[in-house]
Structure 1
Amino acid sequence: MVDPWEKKPVRIVCISDTHSMHEEIDDIPDGDVLVHAGDCLGRGTLFELDDFNYWLGELPHAHKILIAGNHDWCFERYPDKARPLVTNAVYLEESGVTIDGIEFWGSPYTPRFRDWAFNVDRGEKIASHWAKIPETTDVLITHGPPEGIFDEVVGPDCGMSVGCADLAKRIDSLHLKAHIFGHIHEAYGYGVRAKDGVKFANASICDKRYRAIRKPIVIDLVA
């Protein structure tokens, strides 16, 4: 027998790092909220963004959330032109939105690496951005990972953890239900942390060779 008072889970479909190859994604699951955790673009142009926004409009999800990533230059260089182009999603940049009782917060910043968009020095500067995350946040969306969670790179630095220590520290002070991110393509994955039940998803669709071969990650949450 179905309990009429039981809350129905909110289904969140997570993607990231599509790099203008969104048309190549196979089988995007339906859900209540589609979250894109940054790097929707390849070269960071307004033309690419317009195309991506059109694609978003063809998806069936009732709610869509987008943050920028380090490749999404137009949001940093031309915010007054880029933001109005996003008509088929809620764009978050150190801001939040509540959907079906779940509080989402999005931020594009990542630790400095070769001076990409939204790069900030590690330490006090980037910590000041994480300090803005509200205590009431349920789902955190950042472009990059926290230190030690789906953040290892391969190649010459094989096994090296490159996530943000200050972000990890801030997350430990919150009571999140989930954290969605991307950025480190080779560290794609999903897991639930044993100590607090936080669901972590590195939803990078592109692999290290920029091939759009990964599947979206689905998270079910109850408000």
Structure 2
Amino acid sequence: MRIYAVADLHGRAERIRQIGRAVRRLRPDALIAAGDITGFFRPGPVIEALNGWGIPVLAVRGNTDVKRVDNLLAHHTRTCDLHLRAVEMKGIRFVGISGAVPVPFRTRIRFREKAVLERAAALTDRQTVLVVHPPPRGTLDEVGGRFHAGSSGVKALVEACRPLAVICGHIHERPGIAVMGQTLVVNCAVARNGSGALIECPEGGPPTARML
């Protein structure tokens, strides 16, 4: 399965066009949007653009995505709100958690309850691609080279469930690929000249990724 993963578009028109061109070029089986898809205003046109690319779009909200984004994702035919849901595609299970860590950034939504992580853990197995906005704490989460800003809750979830891969964003300074135990971690934040990441999940084999 070929997955195109992006995060932190922030509703910017040039980034939306850039992602659309990449979808047409790469021909992925699905687009994964790991939060901060929209800005604080006018999310409708952004979700409409994602829906118009002709492939399934699985998304979680980040800290700049207003609550209305959930309804917009549910309204369109190709977009899906993945929060605390499991979606199966080509033998891969996708599970999502919307939200962000509360510090050091102001945020509209965050992991408020232990129950959210427990519900996600109940859906997650070794063949799961976990889609979250913040990276696991200590992995692809350095801000300014001075401190780690990832989520301790996501880290604990990954350590306990050992999913196939984690797709995240949030930390614009650290897009890239890492391995946490046996789990591939991809921070697909679209920053500077980047265009996200392409992840290949071959049947029966480990996933691989490259930044775009």
TM-score by length of 2: 0.81
Which of 43, 46, 55 does residue 52 from structure 1 map onto?
46
Q: For residues 179-210 of structure 1, what are the alpha-carbon distances to aligned partners after superposition, in whole Å with 9 as ceiling and x for unaligned?
A: 001011111111334x42x2111111135xxx
Q: What amino acid sits opposite 2:178 in the alignment? A: G
Structure 2 counterpart of 1:41 = 38
Structure 2's unaligned 5+ residue stretches are 204-212
How far is 1:151 from its partner? 0.4
Distance 1:30 1:216 in 2: 14
Structure 1 counterpart of 2:208 = none
Q: For residues 97-136 of structure 1, what are the alpha-carbon distances to aligned partners after superposition, in whole Å with 9 as ceiling and x for unaligned?
A: 1111111001112221354221245xxx3x4322112242
Q: What amino acid sits opposite 2:146 in the alignment? A: G
Q: Which has the higher contact order (CA 8 A, sep 6+)?
A: 1
Distance 2:90 2:66 in 1: 31
Distance 1:170 1:120 in 2: 12
Q: 1:83 to 1:33 in 2, by over 3 A?
A: closer
Distance 1:150 1:98 in 2: 27
8 Å CA contact retained: 1:17, 1:183:
yes
Structure 1's unaligned 5+ residue stretches are 1-9, 208-212
Distance 2:51 2:131 in 1: 21
8 Å CA contact retained: 2:6, 2:190:
yes
How far is 1:33 from its partner? 1.3
Q: How does 1:155-170 map to 2 (within 5 A)?
A: 158-170=145-157
Q: How many residues align?
A: 193
Structure 2 counterpart of 1:118 = 109
Q: How does 1:1-16 map to 2 (within 5 A)?
A: 10-16=1-7
Distance 1:187 1:130 in 2: 24
Q: For residues 15-61 of structure 1, what are the alpha-carbon distances to aligned partners after superposition, in whole Å with 9 as ceiling and x for unaligned?
A: 00101123342641221111000111111x4x32x211221133243
Q: How does 1:67-146 map to 2 (within 5 A)?
A: 67-75=60-68, 81-113=71-103, 115-120=106-111, 125=113, 127-133=114-120, 134-136=123-125, 138-146=128-136
Q: For residues 156-185 of structure 1, what are the alpha-carbon distances to aligned partners after superposition, in whole Å with 9 as ceiling and x for unaligned?
A: xx3311111222111111131110010111
CA RMSD across the alignment: 2.1
Could you list the runs of 4 or more consecutive aligned residues of structure 1 that deviate by over 3 angstroms after TM superposition?
Answer: 81-87
Structure 1 counterpart of 2:186 = 201
Of structures 1 and 2, the larger Rg is shown by 1
Q: How does 1:20-31 map to 2 (within 5 A)?
A: 20-21=11-12, 22-25=15-18, 27-28=21-22, 29-31=26-28
How far is 1:95 from its partner? 1.4
Structure 2 counterpart of 1:152 = 142
8 Å CA contact retained: 1:177, 1:221:
no
Instruction: After superposing the two structures, state which structure 1 stretch, 139-148 or 22-31, moved more.
Output: 22-31
